[in-house]
Amino acid sequence: MAGAHGNVLVHVLDDERSAAAALAAILVEAVEAGASIGLSGGSTPIAAYERVAALEGDWGDATVWLVDERCVPPDDPHSNERLVREAVLERVIVPPVFQGVWTPGLDPAAMADRYDALLRAEGVPELVVLGVGGDGHTASLFPSSPSLDASDRLAVATKAGMDPRIDRVTMTLAAIARADRVVFLATGAGKAEPVRRAFKEPPSPATPSSLARSAAGTTTVLLDRAAATLL
Ligand code: 6PG
């Protein structure tokens, strides 16, 4: 199983807004340091991304990657590129270098090969932002998926998920492990059970969030009280 299990620091914030503010503070510092940053999709981090764009307009020295993507064009409602464009790239004065996954004319496997090669050439992001799905998934690494075993890859194509009709490309556990800092954001009562499995129980492929850790750096978990009730 790819991925090491380094130190995990859990922070429980008062509410969803404070948890988003805590992520925003980490991101502002990273943007100002000109870091490379991997952003996840989902609904939870959007407020934090928008806050960072409002607080820091100059992202010119930073590079933004997508932790995962659905293989749909950027105008599709399911596209994480669209989410990041709307929450960050279209709001800031000086945009970062943006490394998206979607490439017209390539099938999902070829998009994954291209992203894998790009990550090898440029290095994985120093900071990786992750969410926790209701089933314990993170990125597009779903419970007991073969993608969890892709230890020789930094990005893979995957079909698993709540909507298997949509192909996806995801960074692997091996890529996430190379990040200096991994930061999870999870809020709301619906996340209490997967958060318990991810951060209190022994690591298991049944809960991919329990396997996604920085190997040599830090893994920080930002929760609101509701998501932390079972810890
Ligand atoms: C995505 C993600 C995914 C997400 C979780 C949590 O693109 O959907 O990268 O792993 O982080 O599903 O999503 P919510 O924030 O919507 O609960």
CA distance 186 to 44: 7
Distance (Å) from CA 133 to ligand 1 centroid: 6
Q: Please state the atom number of ligand 1 nearest to the C-alpha of residue 130.
A: 11
Structure tokens at 148: 């969890």
Distance (Å) from CA 130 to ligand 1 centroid: 8
CA distance 198 to 221: 10
CA distance 159 to 65: 20
Output the pLDDT for position 172: 98
CB neighbours of residue 130 within 10 Å: 29
Q: Is the CB of 67 under 6 A from ligand 1?
A: yes
Distance (Å) from CA 209 to ligand 1 centroid: 11
Model pTM score: 0.96
Q: Is the CB of 41 under 6 A from ligand 1?
A: yes
Distance (Å) from CA 220 to ligand 1 centroid: 17
- The alpha-helical segments, DSSP class H, found in the chain are 16-32, 46-55, 80-84, 108-122, 173-178, 192-199
Q: Please state the atom number of ligand 1 nearest to the C-alpha of residue 137.
A: 10
Q: Please state the atom number of ligand 1 nearest to the C-alpha of residue 80.
A: 7
The CA R_g of the chain, rounded to the nearest whole Å, is 16
Residue nearest to atom 11 of ligand 1 (CA): 131
Q: Please state the atom number of ligand 1 nearest to the C-alpha of residue 41.
A: 7
Output the pLDDT for position 166: 87
Nearest in space to 103 (alpha carbons), one of 161, 38, 155: 155
Half-sphere exposure of 61 toward its Cβ, with a 13 Å CA cutoff?
A: 9
Q: Is the CB of 43 under 6 A from ligand 1?
A: yes
For every one of its 231 residues, what pLDDT tens digit does the chain have, with 9 covering 90 and above? Answer: 223 344 899 999 999 999 999 999 999 999 999 999 999 999 999 999 999 999 999 999 999 999 999 999 999 999 999 999 999 999 999 999 999 999 999 999 999 999 999 999 999 999 999 999 999 999 999 999 999 999 999 999 998 666 677 899 999 999 999 999 999 999 999 999 999 999 999 999 999 999 999 999 999 999 999 999 999
Output the pLDDT for position 6: 47
Q: Is the CB of 80 under 6 A from ligand 1?
A: yes
Indicate the pairing of strand 36-39 with strand 218-224: unpaired
Q: Please state the atom number of ligand 1 nearest to the C-alpha of residue 191.
A: 17
Output the pLDDT for position 54: 98
Q: Is the CB of 133 under 6 A from ligand 1?
A: yes
Query: Residue 38 phi/psi, 5° resolution?
Result: -100, 125
Q: Please state the atom number of ligand 1 nearest to the C-alpha of residue 45.
A: 15
